[in-house]
Structure 1
Amino acid sequence: MTGSETPQGGLAALRQAHGIPALPAIPLDPVSQAPVTVASYNVHKCVGTDRRFDPARIARVIGEIAPDIIAIQEADRRFGRRTGLLDTAALEEAGLKLLPISRLPDGHGWHGNALAVRAGTPLSLQRIALPGAEPRGAVIAELELPAGKLRVIAAHFGLLRRCRTRQGAAILEAIGRGEAMPTLMMGDLNEWRPGRRSSLRVLESFFGPAGFGPASFPARMPVFALDRILGWPQGVVREVRVHDTPLARTASDHLPLKAKLVLHARAASQGVTIPGIQAAA
């Protein structure tokens, strides 16, 4: 889909109401590029394919990736008190610090979604309860990085297609309420299909076509591209691939995804300006 094409039905109205732009073609200044390693990892509550609960092993996989920013799904217990399951000491040894997302002193995320960063100051954190048949959520963090501002969305979509479509629309609505800035969305979106039947089509007006991604599930013999790393504007996310190592194939039922984030330093620090587009008040 190009910037000149108009989505049909309610999505076009949603974009117009919330100031969500069509895909721009913003060139990246090579002099200003600041590559950042980003990753997304569904850790399966730290239970591996060998059925062992081993948070330290998850931390070692993350250490292999050496991300600057990582979105982690299933970082907390799902039932009862949503206490955190990650080995925070091991993550800190790897240079990563969890953002204060959980409302519990011993929790790590929101509906299991956690974010860890190497260097960066959180400017704002927003927890979103996503619509659907089961409890799901997303986190939106606006960060001040050495290269400037970045919005990061960590999400875990539901198992039903109709719910995933509604959840994607809720994400777009939340983006539209904020200021324009480079945006990164990462998570287990539970959708491998591209094209007309894909529930990720709702996101295409902002993030671009959701084609076949790297297969990340199941970890021992990956077939389905359930995990995604998406970015806006075009060109900020590059080299999306699976982190496939012997340790990763055992540590969780998903393989992690990793990518390079190339920020235009001037745009990141000043906000991406697109003529005629304003965020909704």
Structure 2
Amino acid sequence: MRAQLPPALAELLEAPRRTARLQPPDIARWRAGNSLPGVWTFDSGAPGAHLCVVALTHGNEFAGAILLDRLLREGLRPLCGRLTLIFANLDAFSRFDPDDPTASRFLEEDLNRLWDIATLEGPRRSAELRRARALRPVLDSADVILDLHSMLWPSDPLFLVGGPQDSVRLAMELGEPALVVADHGHQTGRRLIDYGRFAVPGSGRRSVLLEAGWHWEAETVQRMETATRRLLALLGLAPGPMPALPCPRLAQVTQTITARTAEFTFTQPWRGGTVIPARGTLIALEGDEEIRTPHDDCMLVMPSLITSPGHTAVRLARLE
């Protein structure tokens, strides 16, 4: 561990305690689900897509749970196809503590790094793997996944998609936030949006991860609601006006920087979405090793200003 954080980083870490405007929602009435614990499925009886909207993949990111609670309270039902609302990591969310707001991200391991078949069907055991295995039958039947997330560090909101172009096109069609980032995930394990057939081009499955803004802010919930209702309308599951939106920027990740040691340090508290004009600009150090931008107009995607060995520190992307 670092003996002392640089003042700028210490200030950023302390900020959520002072500025958080949201309180965790009371989802006691939704915990039992109607198909699995925390899982609510509604079938219209008419042909159409099966959309899964997922919140609480990380237990401390409860903005998505506020939205799902809102949709359930209003009695939302699909006009066609099927709609499933998933409170994913209920156990981690139950341990949320506003005095230690990042500690409940997960219990034993990150639920969003477990979605490869070998892991899901292997011998490992953890609270998150039990939950992932329980959710598999629901997700196996889905045509579209929208996974709702928020961010610890200051960053422009964005959609993340894996490799298949169908998912890229869906995120571009959603249009807001106005940035779509295509990448291939993390070294430490597969994300939900990369699970099974969702990672296979031409499978007809589409998956999008929304990073809607800073944790625990009302604007983050609003972005989640805007994207979710637009997706419902796009799929025909709910009525709604579909105003034309400017075409988002598309960024393709060219390099993922993974911290190898506890000595990884950024040269300054970079904001996600920053575009660095010049190739070779120094952005971080790991001991004596310099990490520099590999090309001109290099976008920094969600830099994790304090990271652990083996975890993604930042993704570097080129605007297309």
TM-score (norm 2): 0.23
Bigger RCO (CA 8 Å, 6+ sep):
1
